[in-house]
Structure formats: C-alpha cells, structure tokens
C-alpha cells in the first residue's frame, strides 16, 4: 500500500478512477489496494471521501461494463477458438454458459470480492452471453457493495473503531 498511496495522494480521484476502471477491465493493477489507500487518505483529510467513493464506484461499473461489451462482441469466438488450448472444451464452455444463465446474477454480484474474478467478471459474463439486463443490475449492486466495504470501511475503522479502542485500558 505504501507504493500506491503517494500516487493516489498526488493525482487524486482521477487516478483512482483510472486504476479501478483498468482493474475492472481485466488489467493486473492494484485496484483494491488503491481503494484502501484512498480511504486512509480520506481519513487523514488529504482526499474527499465522497469524491473517492464516486470515482471508485464509477470506475468499477464502467470497467466491468466495458469488459462485458468486449466479451459479448468478441469473447465467445475467442473461447471457442482458443479455449481448447487451455482445456476449455465445448462441453465445459456449455457448462459455464448454463451456470451463468442460472446463477449469473449471483456470480457477478459476488465476483467483485474475489481477486481474479473481479478482474475478469465482465469479460466472462459477456463471453458466455449473459443477458445485459441481468448483468447490469448485478454489476451495479456488486460495485456499490464493494465500494462501501473497501472504500468506506477503512475510513470507518480509522474514525470510529480506532478512537474507541484507544479509550480502553488494557
């Protein structure tokens, strides 16, 4: 976190938005670390918490939505063409598609909290042809929960829990 915090402090919510957007699109960037760093900076008064939360939420929703579009308009063909090289047979792809048809909303909603799934969530959902009207609400809800948990959670711990603990005598 000490490596990413100076960048978030120097470039603010714009950098935060870009990092979260890129991570949600599938790039291997330290998005969650940046969110926690932004929350800590907000607790120190160096960053506006509401602005940071908006940037985090928008970056997450737009990144996953862009990934969904990429997957929807080109991902399925890539999976059928190159999938067998990675042991993704036609049967496994059909099973994955059936899983997303049945439980896709729950997968998208909770994938935000699982490291590799967070990065590939949108691309996979689009590639297996999950309906957009199922993907979007789950994406928005997952991004909102994730933003609150990791964006506001550390701020809450620093401002509320830490002072309470400091008052106790051990």
pLDDT at 2 over 70: no
pLDDT digits (tens, 9 = 90+) for 74-91: 888 888 887 788 787 888
Assess contact for 152 and 53: CB atoms under 8 A. Answer: yes
pLDDT at 113 over 70: yes
Assess contact for 92 and 84: CB atoms under 8 A. Answer: no
pLDDT at 169 over 70: no
Sequence-distant (≥ 6) Cβ neighbours of residue 37 within 8 angstroms: 1, 4, 5, 8
Sequence-distant (≥ 6) Cβ neighbours of residue 115 within 8 angstroms: 32
Domain boundaries, the chain: 5-167
Report d(CA 28, CA 152) in Å as an integer: 23
Per the listing, tokens 């602005």 go with 51
3-state DSSP assignment of residue 146: helix
Q: What is the DSSP letter of 29?
A: -
Exposed e or buried b per residue across 79-111, where buried means at least 16 C-beta atoms within 10 angstroms of its C-beta: beeebeeeeeeeeebeebbeebeeebbebbbbb
Per the listing, tokens 């590639």 go with 127
State the Cα angle at 138 between 132 and 141, rounded to 5°: 140
pLDDT digits (tens, 9 = 90+) for 33-56: 899 989 988 988 899 999 999 999
Question: How many residues does the structure list for the chain?
Answer: 170
- Rounded to two decimals, what is the model's pTM? 0.86
């Amino acid at each position: 976190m000490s490596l990413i915090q100076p960048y978030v402090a120097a470039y603010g919510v714009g950098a935060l938005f870009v990092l979260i957007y890129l991570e949600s699109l599938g790039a291997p960037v330290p998005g969650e670390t940046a969110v926690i760093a932004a929350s800590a900076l907000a607790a120190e008064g160096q960053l506006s918490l509401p602005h940071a939360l908006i940037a985090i939420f928008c970056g997450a929703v737009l990144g996953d939505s862009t990934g969904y579009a990429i997957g929807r308009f080109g991902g399925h063909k890539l999976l059928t063409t190159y999938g067998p090289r990675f042991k993704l047979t036609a049967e496994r792809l059909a099973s994955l598609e059936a899983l997303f048809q049945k439980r896709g909303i729950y997968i998208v909603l909770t994938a935000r909290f699982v490291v590799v799934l967070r990065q590939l969530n949108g691309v996979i959902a689009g590639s297996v042809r999950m309906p957009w009207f199922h993907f979007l609400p789950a994406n928005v809800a997952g991004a909102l929960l994730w933003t609150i948990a990791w964006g506001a959670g550390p701020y809450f711990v620093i401002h509320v829990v830490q002072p309470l603990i400091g008052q106790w005598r051990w």
